């Protein structure tokens, strides 16, 4: 009687292929720190997954987003230019209209600035 081999284990998931050029696309994310409650912003390179820059702020605002992105451009602009920025749909990046009672106005969410 022939023995059957046990099934092979599944292959681990493969990472997405790298983009052709580092710094062609960066991700900009906001997070609330569990340590001190401050708003943390970080800029990641999509190709290398490297954190380019980051900072802690009292408020997560559009101005602070621009400030941290400008810091990444100042630090790595000599190497190459950043051509695309991908963000989440946070209030720092999108206009969200609110009514008199503070609630969202229908159809106003997630409109790019």
Note whether residue 71 is domain-resident. Answer: yes
For residue 53, report the phi and psi dihedrals to the nearest 5 degrees.
Answer: -165, 165
Average pLDDT over residues 88-103: 64
CA pair distance 111, 72, nearest whole angstrom = 25
Per-residue pLDDT at 53: 92
Residue 11's pLDDT is what?
Answer: 80
We report the CATH number of the domain holding residue 39 as 3.30.420.10
d(CA 73, CA 50): 14
Using CA atoms, how far apart are residues 58 and 37, in angstroms rounded to an integer?
9
Whether 5 is covered by a domain: the verdict is: no
Domain count, the chain: 1
Q: Is residue 95 part of a domain?
A: yes
Residues 30-85 pLDDT 10s: 888 899 999 999 999 888 888 999 999 998 888 898 899 999 989 887 777 788 88
Mean pLDDT of 93-100: 62
Within 10 angstroms of residue 65's Cβ, the number of other Cβ atoms is: 20
């Amino acid at each position: 009687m022939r023995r059957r081999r046990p099934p092979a284990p599944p292959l681990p998931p493969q990472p997405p292929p790298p983009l052709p050029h580092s710094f062609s696309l960066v991700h900009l994310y906001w997070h609330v720190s569990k340590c001190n409650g401050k708003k943390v912003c970080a800029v990641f390179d999509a190709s290398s997954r490297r954190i380019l820059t980051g900072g802690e702020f009292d408020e997560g605002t559009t101005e602070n987003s621009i400030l941290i992105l400008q810091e990444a451009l100042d630090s790595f602009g000599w190497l190459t230019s950043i051509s695309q920025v991908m963000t989440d749909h946070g209030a720092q990046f999108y206009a969200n209209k609110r009514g008199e009672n503070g609630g969202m106005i229908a159809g106003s969410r997630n409109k790019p600035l």
